[in-house]
Structure 1
Amino acid sequence: LKDKNGSRFADLTPLEQNKIEDCSLTLHVIKAPTSDRVTFDLFDRVNRGGTRLNNQEMRNALYQGNATKLINRLAEKEVFVEATEGSIPDNHMKDRYLVLRFTAFYLWQQHITIDPDTHEPLDYRSNVEDFLGKTMRFLNQLEPENGLFKELDNRFTRAMELAIQLLPSGGFRLPSSPGKKRPINMAFFESFSYLLSRLNGEGEQFHRQVQDTYMQLMCNDAYLDSLTRSVDSGKQTYKRYEIINRLIHELNLC
């Protein structure tokens, strides 16, 4: 009906107006508080006839605002692409997912995130999808000029620059047998990037300390276990950050 382009409702014929008024719409109202896991399941069922979306793509659709702007900006940084060897594809927002994990766990470890539903400090309870969604909702509630966005940008950039400068090639990949190359480990990226983001030192001695810390973690069975088994469980997540924070404290790097 190209001849109707630019028309207003009042410009249509009575028959055309009736057709619009008689059209049935099916609406699904999801009331708060509903966990992201439930929301995503409903979203998936309703849209099953179209293109299937992963959880990050659904988060991007549900939580447009400050959060998506920040994540997009960080994911497009050249230092992020270089630190991850250009191996994280932007299709299906896998790069955004990695950046969001860093952002969410950084804010959590700094005791900054407030649960939008309870208005209490956000706790991690083994539900990473709900955790990431609440982090995005929290960021969306802030004013765009809030200094936290600049802090996150600076911390993330600092972590990526140190990774490029100090880590060996494939630094965010776990060791593998000769001839094989593992993908970048998300939990390793998120937790070690957090450690790097907390560092303020400079100079050769500082660089050696960071590299020694990296090698120490690569030999830490408890840390490696937290990266490969039940990765997003509360037990493994708390264990992972207990080790990271102990290293920061013991080495007095931050």
Structure 2
Amino acid sequence: MTTSDTPQPPEITEEHFLDTGTGVEAETEAEDTPPEIDRPWNPEQIRVNTKQFSLRNALDMIDDGSLQLAPDFQRGLVWKLAQKSRLIESVLLQIPLPAFYFAEDTDGLMRVVDGLQRLSTIHDFVRGGEARGFALKRLEYLQGAVEGKRFEDLPAPWKRRIYNTQIVTNVIDPTTPPDVMYDIFKRINTGGTPLNAQEIRHCMSKDRSRTILREMTSTAEFNAATNNMGGHIRMNDREMALRFAAFWLMGADGYAKYAAMDRFLQRTTAMLDNREEVTDARVKDLVAAFRKAMVNARLVFGDQAFRKWPQESSGRNPINRALFETWSITLAEYEAADLERRREEIVERARELMTVDYRYLEAITSSTGDVRRVMYRFEAIARIAEVGT
């Protein structure tokens, strides 16, 4: 075979956000990959009600907890002061705001799904608390009237204009099936910086799963193994922890039932939110297994843990999600002393696999949710983990 005929390894592409690398490798889909939804939803399952609220009413609901702004969701902090100020200016100019999307649960509580940054900005300006919100800067039309003013400094008519502004909201009924709700979120998610899959799951989930994932990604063991990935601005850390939880709870064989990563992870989120399905004791075991996996990954691979590291490669690539889920689940089954004894041989075999096995490289690069690729990478790594035993 000539050099030109030799298969070339897939290109490694790092995800970027606001022109900055996220430290995580982008996952790509092959052109012939079938859609995850292989049949249309029953239209009768889609229940979305349109309601109107005044901004005062929406802000009061946020303050009393009946409308949640996705706790610890960092994307709401991305807007710059000029963007925030011009949103407030638009409200003062009585320019209609784009529709918002809320998700209602069975207890009547609502979560903001689309419009999180807008509502967070308005709440910050009006109800800034001790921080007194922010002062309006770099306005386009109202410089002479309100430039440099905070909400408390505005004349009463301007305050009333903000409070009385009506917003249109599409409220997704709690009887809408979770998978349908998730697909609705993906379809409406077309803003300037669309949410990724984990950010959508975070908006849909309840406090219990959020707390579990935050605990897992806040551990010293996770941050040592991932070069301080905890607190990731795109929540890729939470997704990696969720993938571990999914395969730890249901196994690679269980993945075949869902045959799509989104559905698999959405199901896991629902399980973590339900104490009857995943008890507190089970959560404790999950976190302990996760810590053990992170310690073992760092022990075996050092700074190269969960990254593509083929032979003849000396640099450090972004973290690869598929490598994270397979190696973390596999290494959680071994003791540190055993792995330390076999470390060099495991690393050698792992690097060889990433160099010569193009089927494996595809399984951790493109269409990584394909059932056959998921099973192949788990089987391949399981064989390597047993070397020298």
TM over 0.5: yes
Which structure has the highest helix share of the two? 1
Are the structure 2 counterparts of residues 139 and 123 from structure 1 closer, same or farther at C-alpha, using a change threshold of 3 Å? farther
2:191 counterpart of 1:57: no
The Cα of 1:132 is off from its aligned counterpart by 0.4
Written as runs of structure 1 = structure 2, the 5 A alignment for 1:105-116 is 105-109=247-251
Structure 1 gap segments, 5+ residues each: 7-15, 112-120
Corresponding residue number in structure 2 for 1:186: 321
Q: 1:39 aligns with which of 184, 206, 213?
A: 184
Are the structure 2 counterparts of residues 107 and 93 from structure 1 closer, same or farther at C-alpha, using a change threshold of 3 Å? same
The Cα of 1:110 is off from its aligned counterpart by 7.5
Q: What percent of counterpart residues are identical?
A: 24
CA distance, structure 2, for counterparts of residue 231 and residue 173 of structure 1:
15
Please report the RMSD computed on the Cα atoms of aligned residues, expressed in angstroms. Answer: 3.5
The Cα of 1:202 is off from its aligned counterpart by 4.8
Q: 1:91 aligns with which of 233, 251, 256?
A: 233
2:228 counterpart of 1:228: no
Are the structure 2 counterparts of residues 51 and 166 from structure 1 closer, same or farther at C-alpha, using a change threshold of 3 Å? closer
Q: 1:103 aligns with which of 222, 245, 256?
A: 245
Structure 2 gap segments, 5+ residues each: 1-56, 61-159
Q: Give the counterpart letter for 1:198 in structure 2.
A: E
Written as runs of structure 1 = structure 2, the 5 A alignment for 1:194-233 is 194-199=329-334, 201-203=335-337, 206-220=339-353, 221=357, 222-233=359-370
The Cα of 1:242 is off from its aligned counterpart by 2.3
Corresponding residue number in structure 1 for 2:290: 156
Corresponding residue number in structure 2 for 1:10: none
CA distance, structure 2, for counterparts of residue 186 and residue 149 of structure 1:
22
CA distance, structure 2, for counterparts of residue 37 and residue 216 of structure 1:
40
The Cα of 1:245 is off from its aligned counterpart by 3.8
| Paired residues, number | 224
TM-score norm. by structure 1 comes to 0.73
Aligned to 1:167, the other structure's residue is in SS state: helix
Aligned to 2:364, the other structure's residue is in SS state: helix
Q: 1:238 aligns with which of 375, 378, 383?
A: 375
Query: Which is worse superposed, 94-103 or 171-180?
Result: 171-180
Are the structure 2 counterparts of residues 196 and 154 from structure 1 closer, same or farther at C-alpha, using a change threshold of 3 Å? same
CA-to-partner distance for each residue in 1:42-85, whole Å, 9 max, x for gaps? Answer: 4415xx3x763221111011011322111110011111111011
Are the structure 2 counterparts of residues 26 and 89 from structure 1 closer, same or farther at C-alpha, using a change threshold of 3 Å? closer
CA distance, structure 1, for counterparts of residue 280 and residue 231 of structure 2:
30
Find the structure with the greater CA-based Rg: 2
Corresponding residue number in structure 1 for 2:273: 140
> For the Cα contact (< 8 Å) 2:349–2:384, is it kept in 1?
no
Aligned to 1:169, the other structure's residue is in SS state: helix
